[in-house]
A and B are shown apart, each in its own frame.
Chain A
Amino acid sequence: MDKKDKKISVSEGFKQYVANLPAGPEKEALLRFLSEADRLAALSEAERKNELSQADQNFELAQDKLNLLNMPEGERKAEVARRKAEAKRTSGEFEKELDELIAESAAILTDEDFARRKDEAEAMKKITGESVEELARDFNIFSGKGDLPGMGAVLKKAAEKEKLGEFLNYYGYRSDFLGLNQLVGEMIIGDREILSDRAFDNFLYQQKAFSLAQDLSCMAAAQNQWSLAFSVGRKGRVWRELEAKDHLAAVLWAIKKIEPEIAARYFGPEAYGYFNPGEKGASGGGGEFVLGEEGKIILMLNAANFEKSLARKNFNPEAAKFLASAEGELANLGLPGSFSAGLKKYLEERKNRPDEADEVWREIKK
């Protein structure tokens, strides 16, 4: 059978996706939702319009958007053109709506995401915190009110300052994608049961929280903090936490595009691993920096080039310090002994610096 013949509609695909979910509250809620959608579909147009809640209408619109997005580019363009032509024949109003729909599809975001972002931007203006401790204080206030945009604004502020990892550590989480997903799950989504009277609202709230995690991961990726990148992804139209293998595949896909010489210079420790605060927590002086699978992948991909960068004294010094401390792990990776030796030599050579360098830096930091 030709591959195209196997194609099914998005709504069918979504139903199959739900059917294949493991039994649990989320599946039950989605099944209830689908059954409600089927019931509404069986109603007349007038009856349906009367019954549909705003959220349901949004969902229908979102399904249509997804339908567009899932099409190959050529098909999508043709479909958009067809709809536009049809719209011209019918009314200008429809065309306007369609343009809005296309814009939203393009952004791969729903109306709820737009609303969240708008509120986030507002909340950002209220944030006064600079340090992680101050930001955590702001976060706690928003968290107490169940204010998702407020919490999102604080997290984005931390991410903008390249302190998302530290922020996660502050609350006892690892500074990687798993830690981020844990914080989102435990501190933002919390005990909002998918199986409850407010199942659909809670489902939407969960989706918004995952969408926020997506934003944060993208900010981290832009700063080469690869252990924090790609925390969530889409399965069907639904945001999901990514499994480690999919997260790693995305990380590898991204870093393969980066010149090894640039990777050697720009990748700091947060590209290679994460800080695990342990039971004592970062503030208790506990924890350790751990070489993550992201780091292993980076090294497996670039070791030979990195050796050259080390020899040219052109390797990120903080990363060099961290990697030198993980010598045993490097041996497990099968990296040649010359790599570890290169790291040590480089760090030794870096001790030759201008006499006043340390003193001057202390002054600047004041």
Chain B
Amino acid sequence: MLDLNNSKTLEAIRYHAEEAVNFDLADKARLLAGFLEDSLTKGIDQPEAELACEEMLVKARFVALPRLAPGEIIELIKNNLSAVTAMPGYNLWEKVKAKLLSLPEFEERNTLRKLIREALLVSDQDWTEEKIIINGREMRGTVKNWLTDYRSVLGTGRVETLKLSQYLTSGENAKKLSREGRARLDYLFKFYEKMKLSSLELDGIEETTVFVVDGEVDIYEEGITERVGRDVKDMVKQAQGVSKVGEIQDEIEAKYRGDAAEAKKIETEMKNIAKESGGESGKLEEILFEAIPGPGRTVNKYRLSAVLMVMAEGGKLAGLLEEKKFNEMMVVHLKEGSGKAELAGFKLSPKDPRYLSLFLQYVLKERARLSEDESGRIGMKLFNILSRDGAGGKYQGLVYFDLEKQEFKWS
């Protein structure tokens, strides 16, 4: 059992109460209110602690207002309304509206509105520091007194916004108020006006309705229909565009990962190769040479991919074309094919990533007969491994993903 006379315990409770109020945490507020109610009923010895708990209880109830029973709401508003002035940003109308929305029947909603209206008219809660003069008598600036003045000046029917503004700026009592005092009255009277509406009338119904008319979106709320503007539509497109980028990235990632069964086979081959070679460069080169299809050597694309991966992981792929066997293979290839113009450059700098790319294309596409997409995917994986050591820039762009055709391509 928590001891609320203990200052540390009280400090912790105050922390949670502030969190609930500041961040509008209705669940937290409801639990807190239940706990504080129990504690206050059982009694708290220290008057200061008791007062602090009472204040926290009222604020917690205001946060959890839509969960309260109608009777509790009436009592709260009648006896504690001034507490909301110490809750920055708290919107009493939005809270009451949430409660009204939870009542299925409109008659029930109208009854609650009426009861709140009546509670306000008898509320003795202080609302402004300044006094108010009614019938020549100076009185406290309570909710009840201000509403009495408001009704005597503007009548008991519905009051238009313009009339309300006039009352606030030139009404005998209101014009003497500070800016803060006028803001408080504005808050009170606007809320009171909402309580005058009927849920069965056009401007009183709490539900907001979307109408889709010829592709336009019209929104009906509290008696006013607004058409959603171009700026809103553009922003929606932008947000949906961002989602598409995400979707495309997911697709690319899925393509990059490839088939799970295939990935498993490559992984198994990689383990075998690691065992066979013991990580030695020479042995790995032999395995690679054997895996490249040629006269008398059939294609095992998984083993070929795997050995290239193992070499890349072991840092032995970047300089592969400096090794005699593969250097010669590349020279022959460049002489035979359309790469004659590249030959001189290759001889000068065989470690240039561009030549590694040409070599991989030759091995994977021409010798192993893999498609542009499949070979490109392997190339992308190899270059990504090589990029891990901060060499990213050198290997970037050698393979790319063609968004339109949805496939990997060599540059």
Q: Which residues of A contact B158 (CB under 8 A)?
A: none
Decide if A214 touches B209 in the complex (CB within 8 Å). yes
Contact partner, B240, options A103, A152, A293, Cβ 8 Å: A293
Contact partner, B200, options A103, A232, A259, A317, Cβ 8 Å: A103
Given A162-B27, A233-B212, answer yes or no on A249-B217 (Cβ-Cβ < 8 Å).
Answer: yes
Decide if A360 touches B105 in the complex (CB within 8 Å). no
B157 contacts the other chain (CB 8 A):
no
B162 contacts the other chain (CB 8 A):
no
Decide if A296 touches B105 in the complex (CB within 8 Å). no
Decide if B239 touches A259 in the complex (CB within 8 Å). no
B66 contacts the other chain (CB 8 A):
yes
Q: Which residues of A contact B219 (CB under 8 A)?
A: 250, 253
Minimal Cβ-Cβ distance residue in A for B21: A265
Contact partner, B201, options A106, A332, A364, Cβ 8 Å: A106
Decide if B66 touches A160 in the complex (CB within 8 Å). yes
A2 contacts the other chain (CB 8 A):
no
Interface-side segment among B96-104, B300-308, B323-331, B400-408:
B96-104
A235 contacts the other chain (CB 8 A):
yes
Decide if B108 touches A121 in the complex (CB within 8 Å). yes
Interface members, chain A 81-97 (any B CB < 8 Å): none
Give bound CA distance, A218 to B13, whole Å.
Answer: 33
| Minimum CB–CB distance for A254 against chain B, Å | 8
Decide if B9 touches A317 in the complex (CB within 8 Å). no
Q: Which residues of B contact A223 (CB under 8 A)?
A: 26, 66, 98
User: What 5 A-B pairs have minimum CB-CB distances, sorted nearest first?
Assistant: A233-B210, A222-B98, A360-B12, A120-B104, A117-B104
Listed by A's residue number, 21 A-B pairs whose Cβ atoms lie within 8 Å are A106-B201, A107-B106, A118-B105, A156-B104, A215-B101, A218-B206, A223-B66, A230-B210, A244-B240, A245-B240, A249-B233, A256-B232, A265-B23, A296-B242, A297-B235, A316-B23, A317-B19, A332-B245, A356-B8, A357-B12, A364-B32
- Given contacts A235-B211, A266-B89, A357-B12, 14 further A-B pairs with CB under 8 A are A108-B205, A114-B106, A120-B104, A121-B104, A219-B101, A222-B66, A233-B212, A234-B210, A245-B240, A266-B24, A293-B236, A317-B23, A357-B15, A364-B32
Residue positions of A touching B, CB distance < 8 A: 103, 105-108, 114, 117-118, 120-121, 124, 152-153, 156, 159-162, 214-215, 218-219, 221-224, 230, 232-235, 240, 242, 244-246, 248-250, 252-254, 256, 259, 261-262, 265-266, 268, 293, 296-297, 300-301, 314, 316-318, 329, 332-334, 353-357, 359-361, 363-365
